[in-house]
Structure formats: structure tokens, C-alpha cells
Amino acid sequence: MPTCNVGLQILPFSKNKDTYALVDKAIETIQQSGVKYEVTALETILEGELDTLLDVVKQTVLATVAAGADEVAAEVKIHYRPQGTSIEEKVGKYRKN
């Protein structure tokens, strides 16, 4: 299966837990998954095979609830191209060395 990109924005809701701490738990789950990723100000971009990334999305939502979120909304964007795509191909030319 070709490499694709998934943009994931986790929006946890909790009456008792700090929102940023819950988002940190979501990012920690992504880090532990072993997939390539980049955290941005509004979402995290994942790179890998689609089935793997969709499983990471599920794990991230469940981990956020397990960390104390009362509920979680997730915005997911998928860029799938049969020949593959990468984060670097999209934004590499804009990076400073």
C-alpha cells in the first residue's frame, strides 16, 4: 500500500481535565505508534500506510478518553495518491535549514 498523509486534529472536551494535557496525551500516543508525524499549531500530520494511520487515529481518540476527556471530536483529513505522497514533498521547499 502506498504512503499517504492524514491530518488529525483532536478536540477533547472535559469539565475537569486541562485541554492541553489531553492533547499532549493524544500526541504521546502518536509518538508511541512509530509512524512519521509532524505537530503543527492546529493539527498533526501523519505519514504512512492508510490502514496503519487510521488505526493510529482510533488509538489516539481512545487514549484521549482514557486520559480523562469526557468526549472527543476529531477532524481527519486524508491525502491518498496511488503512487504515494509525503510530508516532505508538500512542505519541504518552505523549510528553513
Q: What is the pLDDT of residues 25-63, one digit of tens each?
A: 999 999 999 999 999 999 999 999 999 999 999 999 999
Report residue 23's pLDDT band, with 50, 70 and 90 as the boundaries: very high
pLDDT at position 97 over 90: no
Residue 80 DSSP symbol: -
pLDDT of residue 96: 83
- Distance (Å, whole) CA 86 – CA 95: 14
How confident is the prediction for the chain on average, in pLDDT? 96
pLDDT at position 89 over 90: yes
- Which are the contacts of 71, defined by CB distance < 8 A and separation ≥ 6? 12, 13, 65
* Domains defined along the chain, listed by start: 3-82 (3.30.70.930)
Neighbour count for residue 41 (Cβ, 10 Å): 4
